[in-house]
A and B are shown apart, each in its own frame.
Chain A
Amino acid sequence: MIKSLRVKILINGEIMSKISLEVNGRKVEKEAPDNTLLSTFLREHLQLTGTHIGCDTSQCGACVVHVDGNSLKSCTALAADVNGSKVTTIEGLETNGKMHPMQEAFKKLHGLQCGFCTPGMVMSAIDLLQKNKKPSDTEIRDWLEGNICRCTGYQNIVAAVKEAATKM
C-alpha cells in the first residue's frame, strides 16, 4: 500500500516533499513539509475538512480514509509515504449527488449524532463490506473497534452497516 517514491525539495531551508495524489478522482500536486501527516495534508493543504482529527495516538479513527481502496487512519501515514496513491475521503463518496449506500444507511438508521466520528466510521465500515460482504454483528463490532463514537452507543451504527450490506 505504501509507495515511497519521494521527491524532496529544499525550500527556505525546509525539506519539502512533492506530493502527487489522486484525491476523490481529482489529481493534486502540492509541496508540503516532509513531516506532513496525510490527515494534515487533506485538511490543511486541500481543505478537505471532512476528515477529522480526534486524538493524537491513532486510537479514535475519526481520520479514516481509503488509500488505494483500503481503509487507513490518515494520521498514521505521512502524505509523502502515500505519494502516487488514490485517496478517497468522505467528500468523495457521493456519485452524481447521490449518497453512497453506507451514508444512506447511517441516515436511515440514525447511526450518527454529533457527526464528528462519522466520516471515519463510514469509511471504515465501507472497507469492512469490501472485505466481508455479509458480516455478523460480532464481526461488525470487532471491525469497528478502532473507531470511537461517544454519542451513539454503536447500536445504530451496527444496524446501519447491516442495512448497507443488503444494498451494496
Chain B
Amino acid sequence: MASLVGSRVERKEDKRFLTGKGRYTADINLANQTYAIFVRSPHARASIKKLNIDKALKSSGVVSILTGKEIADDKIGGLIAGWAIRSEDGTEMKCPGNPPLAKDNVNFVGDPVAVVIAESLAEAKEAAEKVEVDYKVLKAVTSTADAMNGDTIHEGIDKNLCFDWLLGDRQKVKEAFDKADKVISIDIINNRLIPNAMEPRACVADYNTASEEITLYTTSQNPHLSRLIMSAFGNVAPEHKLRVVAPDVGGGFGSKINVYNEDIVCSWASKKINRAIKWVAERSESFLTDIHGRDHVTHAELAVTKDGKFLGFKNETIANLGAYARVFGTVTPTYLFGPCATGVYEIPAAYTNVKAVYTNTAPVDAYRGAGRPEATYTIERLVEKASMELGIDKTELRIKNFPTTFPFKQTLVHTVDSGDYVAGMEKAKQMADYKGFVARRKESEAKGKLRGIGVTSYFEACGIAPSAAVMSLGCGVGLWESAEVRFNPTGQVTVYTGSHSHGQSHQTTFAQIAADELGVPIENIDIVHGDTDKGTFGMGTYGSRSLAVGGIAIVNACKKIVEKGKRVTAKMLEANPEDVEFKDGEFVVSKSNKKKTIGEVAFACYLPGVRDEMKSPLPEGDEPGLKETSFYDPSNFSFPAGTHIAEVEIDPETGHVKLEKYTACDDFGRIINPMVVEGQVHGGLAQGIGQALYENAEYDETGQLMTGSYMDYTMPRADNFPEFNIGYTCTHATTNPLGVKGCGEAGAIAAPPTVMNAVIDALGGQEVTMPATAEKVWKACKNLKKSNAKAA
C-alpha cells in the first residue's frame, strides 16, 4: 500500500465548503430562539454613573435586559489571563478583574455593559438604542510607549504595569558589550494588528430545562478549553452540564482562542430566560472587541566584533496588553517571545526584558505567530542593520553566526533538536537568484526606481507546549493533546482529536496519518473534532501544535490499536503475539501464510466468536471492543526554521512599494500533505506581508479605534501580492515519531522583517515603521534625495 503521508491528497472537507453546506455558528438557528445585542461603551475609559433600562424594557419584542449588576449578583466570574508571569523582582503579575459585563468601569471602546435579548434581531437593536448609560468620561491611556506615565487605569496597578519580566543575564550581557568592537542599536515598533478571521465571532447558547444542560455553539479554536474556563472560572455551569460545540469555524489566527464576554453572557442568560439566544458579531464589533495582536515598542542592541561575530544581545520591550490580560495575553510577550529573541544565532550572552502595560484599548493576545514574529522582527532588523554598518554581506553575516551542530543549545532557553540553517540559506539564495540582484537593481534604477533586497533567517518554537519545558519556566499549564481512535465493528474508523480545524485541513491530513498507521483506506476514516460531548478533552489549535502534538497523539493511539490487534490475531490464529507483524492493514504470523485483516480483527473484537472461531478471540485480560486513547505530552517544542528573501521596487515619485519577488525556503520537518503546507505558507506570508505593507490598527488619543472597518483597516487583497516562490529543506524533528515541526505560523513570522529589510535597503538604510505605506515611503524618498544631493 502506498503511503499517504507525504502525498498531495485533496481535502475531504472541501465539498461541503464549496457547495454551501458548511455549518458555521451563524448558520445555526434553534427553535424559539431569541437574539442578543450588546450595549457597548462608546468611551475608552469611564465610570458608569447610572444605567437605566426602563425605556428599553418597554420596547417591542424585548425578552430581557441584563447588566453587570445581575452578572455580579449571580457570581458569574470574569475573563482570565491563562499564564502567570513573575516580574524580575519576584513579584506576581497584576491583573484586574474583567467581568463579562462591566458594572462600575469601562476600559475600552466596545467593553460591554448590558445585553438586550429580544424576539428578533431588529427589535433587539432598537431596544439597545434605548438603554441609557450615564458615563463619567476619564482620560484614556492609549500609547504603548507612554502607558507607564499615564493615569492609573486599574485601581492598585501602579504605572499600569502588569509585570516587568526578565529572561537572561544582565551581567553577562554587560561583560559581552564591554568587549565589543561595535554596538548596533535599533528602536522599532511592532505595529498593532487585528486578526480579522473572515467569519465574525458568534455564539448560540441553548439551555435545556429538562437536562439542565447548556449547549453553546461558538466560534472557538478550542472548545474544551472554553468549557473548562467557563466552568471553573466563569461559574456558568459545572462541566458536565455545559457542552461546547465549535462547528465549522471560519478562520481563527489566534483571535478565537479566547473565551469572550458574549460566550459567558449568552450561556448564563439562556439559563435565566429558559430560551436559546443567538448572537452574531457585526464586523465593526469584531474590530472593536476581538483580541488584537503585536503592539510592541522595542529598543534592542547587538554587540559585535569587527569581523561580524555576535557577542551579546539585549532587548528592552514595552508590550501593550490592552485593557485586560486575557488567556494568552501574558504568555505571548514573554515565553513565546523572549526565548526566540536571539533568533537562529549563536550569541553567548543575551537578555530580554519586557514591561507589559495596560492601556484603554482592546485586549492584545495571541495572533498568528504570537511573540515569535515580534522576536524575529527585532533580531532580523538588527542583523540587517549590522550587515550595513559592518559592510558584510547580509547572508554571509548570518551564516557566520549560525550554529553548525545540532542539537543547538540556544542562548536563552531552547535546545533545538534539528535543523540545517546553512542549507536553508543556500537554497533560498539560489531560489531567489540572490546573485542577480545587483543587475536587477541597475535595471530598476534605469527606470528611475529604487530596488531593495531583504533577508530573514528565523526559527520558531512550535508544538506548544511540552509540560516539562513550560513548567521549568514557571508556567503552570502544559499543553498536551489527546486522540481517540475507534473502530466500528465493520472496520471503519472514527478519530476524535482534541485539536480543532478552522481551515487547517485536519479532516484530511489527520486521516492520512491514521490511514498509514492502520492500513485502512482514507475514505473509511472520519476525523471528528470540536464538540466536548464527542471526546474526552483537548487543548485546541494554535501555536502550530495540531500536527506536532495532536498528530502524534493519533499515531500513539493507532499504535495501541495495532498492539491489541496483534494480541487478538495471535489468539485467533494460535500464534505468539511476538510473531505477529502488522503491515498495510494486515496482521501476519511470521513465517506462515496465516493472517487477519484489521477489519476482521475489529469485527472479532466487537463480536467475538460468532464466525469460524469457536472460542473467544479475546486474549485473557483484553476487553471487547477496539478503541484506544492517547494523551500525548511532547518532550520538547518543535523548531521550524528557514530563510526568506524579498525584493521590492519603490517608485520615489509616489512612495508606492511594489513587492516584486518573495522567496520562502522553510524546514518544517516531514511534510504530511504538500498541498496543505503550501496553503499554510501562502496564508502566513499574506498576513506577514500585510503587517509590513498594509495593516495597522490605530487608536486616537481618546481611545477611539480609527481603523474600525474594512474601509479603514487595509486588508491585503489578491492584487497586493506577486506569486510566492516557496521551497523546502528538510531535517526531521527528532523529538516526535513523525519527525514533524509545524508550518502554520512561519510566513507571518518571517515576512515582516524580510519585506521591511528590503524596503529599508531600497531606502539606503532609512528607518521606516510598519506598515510601509506610500506616504511614509514617499517622505523617506524625499530625505534620500536631499542626502544624496548633499553628498554630491
Which residues of A approach B to under 8 Å, CB–CB? 33, 43, 47-57, 59-60, 62, 89-91, 93-94, 99, 103, 106-108, 110, 112-119, 122, 137-138, 140-142, 144-145, 147-158
Most chain A CB atoms below 10 A, which of B13, B20, B503: B20
For chains A and B in complex, what number of residue pairs have CB atoms within 8 angstroms?
A: 179
Q: Which of A56, A59, A117, A155 contacts B723 (CB 8 A)?
A: A155
In the complex, the answer to whether B711 meets A57 with C-beta atoms within 8 Å is yes
Question: Whole-angstrom distance between the alpha carbons of A150 and B687 in the complex?
Answer: 8
Question: A110-B11, A117-B198, A149-B198 given as contacts; is B686 within 8 A of A154 (CB)?
Answer: yes
- B472 interface residue per 8 A CB criterion: no
In the complex, the answer to whether A56 meets B283 with C-beta atoms within 8 Å is yes
Which residue on chain B has the smallest CB distance to residue A112?
B17
In the complex, the answer to whether B198 meets A62 with C-beta atoms within 8 Å is yes
In the complex, the answer to whether B682 meets A49 with C-beta atoms within 8 Å is no
Question: Whole-angstrom distance between the alpha carbons of A138 and B283 in the complex?
Answer: 29
Q: How far is the CB of A63 from chain B (nearest CB, A)?
A: 11
Question: Whole-angstrom distance between the alpha carbons of A50 and B719 in the complex?
Answer: 26
Most chain B CB atoms below 10 A, which of A50, A137, A150: A150
In the complex, the answer to whether B685 meets A60 with C-beta atoms within 8 Å is no
In the complex, the answer to whether A60 meets B198 with C-beta atoms within 8 Å is yes
Chain B residues lying within 8 Å of A137, measured Cβ to Cβ, are 723
- B718 interface residue per 8 A CB criterion: yes
Quick one: which of B242-289 are within 8 Å of A by CB? 248-251, 253, 280, 282-284
In the complex, the answer to whether A89 meets B24 with C-beta atoms within 8 Å is no
In the complex, the answer to whether A103 meets B19 with C-beta atoms within 8 Å is yes
- B200 interface residue per 8 A CB criterion: yes
Question: A50-B20, A56-B282, A148-B710 given as contacts; is B718 within 8 A of A158 (CB)?
Answer: yes
Chain B residues lying within 8 Å of A43, measured Cβ to Cβ, are 27
Q: How far is the CB of A47 from chain B (nearest CB, A)?
A: 8
Question: A56-B282, A90-B19, A156-B678 given as contacts; is B197 within 8 A of A150 (CB)?
Answer: yes
Chain A residues lying within 8 Å of B280, measured Cβ to Cβ, are 53
Question: Whole-angstrom distance between the alpha carbons of A48 and B14 in the complex?
Answer: 18
Q: How far is the CB of A121 from chain B (nearest CB, A)?
A: 9
Q: How far is the CB of B723 from chain A (nearest CB, A)?
A: 6
Q: How far is the CB of B644 from chain A (nearest CB, A)?
A: 14
Q: How far is the CB of A50 from chain B (nearest CB, A)?
A: 2
- B611 interface residue per 8 A CB criterion: no
Q: Which of B23, B199, B676, B686 contacts A153 (CB 8 A)?
A: B686
Interface size class of B (residues with CB under 8 A): 35 or more
Q: Which of B16, B26, B679, B687 contacts A53 (CB 8 A)?
A: B26
Chain A residues lying within 8 Å of B676, measured Cβ to Cβ, are 110
In the complex, the answer to whether A110 meets B198 with C-beta atoms within 8 Å is no
A-B contacts besides A56-B709, A114-B249, A151-B683, 11 pairs, CB < 8 Å = A50-B20, A60-B710, A103-B19, A113-B251, A113-B504, A113-B505, A138-B719, A141-B718, A150-B198, A150-B253, A150-B686
- B210 interface residue per 8 A CB criterion: no
Chain A residues lying within 8 Å of B715, measured Cβ to Cβ, are 59, 148, 150
Chain B residues lying within 8 Å of A114, measured Cβ to Cβ, are 17, 197-199, 248-251, 502-503
Question: Whole-angstrom distance between the alpha carbons of A48 and B19 in the complex?
Answer: 11
Chain B residues lying within 8 Å of A52, measured Cβ to Cβ, are 24, 26, 198-199, 250
Question: Whole-angstrom distance between the alpha carbons of A115 and B711 in the complex?
Answer: 23
In the complex, the answer to whether A113 meets B282 with C-beta atoms within 8 Å is no
29 A-B pairs within 8 Å (CB atoms) are namely A49-B20, A49-B27, A50-B20, A50-B21, A52-B198, A52-B250, A62-B198, A94-B19, A99-B19, A106-B18, A107-B11, A107-B15, A108-B10, A112-B14, A112-B17, A112-B18, A113-B504, A116-B22, A116-B251, A141-B719, A148-B198, A151-B503, A151-B679, A153-B685, A154-B686, A155-B724, A156-B678, A156-B679, A158-B723
Q: How far is the CB of B123 from chain A (nearest CB, A)?
A: 11
Which residue on chain B has the smallest CB distance to residue A139?
B719
Chain A residues lying within 8 Å of B13, measured Cβ to Cβ, are 115
Which residue on chain A has the smallest CB distance to residue B22?
A115
Which residue on chain A has the smallest CB distance to residue B253?
A150
Q: How far is the CB of A46 from chain B (nearest CB, A)?
A: 12
8 tightest Cβ-Cβ pairs between the two chains A and B = A50-B20, A115-B17, A116-B250, A114-B503, A153-B682, A153-B686, A59-B710, A113-B503
Which residue on chain B has the smallest CB distance to residue A144?
B718
Question: A117-B198, A141-B718, A157-B718 given as contacts; is B251 within 8 A of A107 (CB)?
Answer: no
Question: Whole-angstrom distance between the alpha carbons of A55 and B306 in the complex?
Answer: 54
Q: How far is the CB of A20 from chain B (nearest CB, A)?
A: 22
Question: Whole-angstrom distance between the alpha carbons of A38 and B10 in the complex?
Answer: 33
Which residue on chain A has the smallest CB distance to residue B685?
A153
In the complex, the answer to whether B718 meets A106 with C-beta atoms within 8 Å is no
Which residue on chain B has the smallest CB distance to residue A105?
B18
In the complex, the answer to whether A115 meets B248 with C-beta atoms within 8 Å is yes
Q: How far is the CB of B228 from chain A (nearest CB, A)?
A: 24
Chain A residues lying within 8 Å of B10, measured Cβ to Cβ, are 107-108, 110
In the complex, the answer to whether B709 meets A55 with C-beta atoms within 8 Å is yes
- B717 interface residue per 8 A CB criterion: yes
Q: How far is the CB of B363 from chain A (nearest CB, A)?
A: 20
- B402 interface residue per 8 A CB criterion: no
Question: A54-B283, A55-B710, A107-B11 given as contacts; is B682 within 8 A of A152 (CB)?
Answer: yes
Most chain B CB atoms below 10 A, which of A110, A137, A140, A158: A110
Chain A residues lying within 8 Å of B283, measured Cβ to Cβ, are 54-57, 60
Question: Whole-angstrom distance between the alpha carbons of A94 and B16 in the complex?
Answer: 12
Chain B residues lying within 8 Å of A115, measured Cβ to Cβ, are 13-14, 16-18, 22, 248, 250, 503
Q: How far is the CB of A94 from chain B (nearest CB, A)?
A: 6
Q: How far is the CB of B54 from chain A (nearest CB, A)?
A: 23
Which residue on chain B has the smallest CB distance to residue A157?
B718
- B675 interface residue per 8 A CB criterion: yes
Which residue on chain B has the smallest CB distance to residue A89?
B20
In the complex, the answer to whether B24 meets A116 with C-beta atoms within 8 Å is yes
In the complex, the answer to whether A54 meets B717 with C-beta atoms within 8 Å is no
In the complex, the answer to whether A107 meets B27 with C-beta atoms within 8 Å is no
Q: How far is the CB of A19 from chain B (nearest CB, A)?
A: 17
In the complex, the answer to whether B678 meets A110 with C-beta atoms within 8 Å is yes
Chain B residues lying within 8 Å of A53, measured Cβ to Cβ, are 26, 200, 280
Most chain B CB atoms below 10 A, which of A99, A145, A152, A154: A154
Question: Whole-angstrom distance between the alpha carbons of A60 and B771 in the complex?
Answer: 21
- B721 interface residue per 8 A CB criterion: yes
Chain A residues lying within 8 Å of B23, measured Cβ to Cβ, are 49
Quick one: which of B678-704 are within 8 Å of A by CB? 678-679, 681-687
Query: B182-217 CB contact bits vs A (8 Å, 1 = yes)?
Result: 000000000000001111100000000000000000
Q: How far is the CB of A88 from chain B (nearest CB, A)?
A: 11
Q: How far is the CB of B450 from chain A (nearest CB, A)?
A: 23
Which residue on chain A has the smallest CB distance to residue B713?
A59
Question: Whole-angstrom distance between the alpha carbons of A108 and B675 in the complex?
Answer: 10
Q: How far is the CB of B278 from chain A (nearest CB, A)?
A: 11
In the complex, the answer to whether B15 meets A99 with C-beta atoms within 8 Å is yes
Most chain B CB atoms below 10 A, which of A47, A55, A142: A55
Q: Which of A59, A107, A154 contacts B721 (CB 8 A)?
A: A154
In the complex, the answer to whether A113 meets B18 with C-beta atoms within 8 Å is no
In the complex, the answer to whether A56 meets B284 with C-beta atoms within 8 Å is yes
Question: Whole-angstrom distance between the alpha carbons of A152 and B282 in the complex?
Answer: 23
Q: How far is the CB of A152 from chain B (nearest CB, A)?
A: 6
In the complex, the answer to whether B19 meets A107 with C-beta atoms within 8 Å is no
In the complex, the answer to whether A152 meets B683 with C-beta atoms within 8 Å is yes
Question: Whole-angstrom distance between the alpha carbons of A137 and B711 in the complex?
Answer: 25
In the complex, the answer to whether A122 meets B679 with C-beta atoms within 8 Å is no
Chain A residues lying within 8 Å of B19, measured Cβ to Cβ, are 50, 90-91, 93-94, 99, 103
Question: A59-B711, A145-B717 given as contacts; is B683 within 8 A of A51 (CB)?
Answer: no
